[in-house]
Amino acid sequence: MFRILSSPGPILLVYSTLRNCRQYKTIATALAYDVHLYQNLDVEIVDDISALDLARTDELRDRNIISLGHPHDNGFISWLLERNNSEGESPRVTCDR
């Protein structure tokens, strides 16, 4: 958990835009509040569609990302896993339930 807190840029929290996943935005808001309150770190909350747009413009390079949900629910997670698999690298993605 401590490595995620040492990001050169603000931490990015990504939640799903699917209708049945609205609770993830609430979770992201609570988590961002706690990280800012207790660690005094900046956290940006975006939906998965906005995160994909940021990835296309290479604005995620120096940021740690917490993405909420399952790859079936969150387009950003799905894209990230596909990208890592197609590049033949070992994924730097951790899926934790």
DSSP string spanning 13-35?
A: EEE--SGGGTHHHHHHHHHHHHH
Q: How confident is the model at residue 86 (pLDDT cuts 50, 70, 90)?
A: low
Give the pLDDT score at 90. Answer: 47
pLDDT of residue 39: 86
The token duo for 44 is: 């940006």
Percent of the chain with pLDDT over 90: 29
Average pLDDT, the chain: 82
Query: What residues form DSSP beta bridges with 44?
Result: 12
- Cβ-count burial 53-91 (b if 16+ within 10 Å, e if not): ebbeeeebeeebbbbbbebebbbbbbbbeeeeeeeeeee
- The pTM score is 0.78
Check whether 96 has a pLDDT greater than 70. Answer: no
94 or 34, which is more confident: 34
Q: What is the pLDDT of residues 6-32, one digit of tens each?
A: 767 788 999 988 877 778 999 999 999
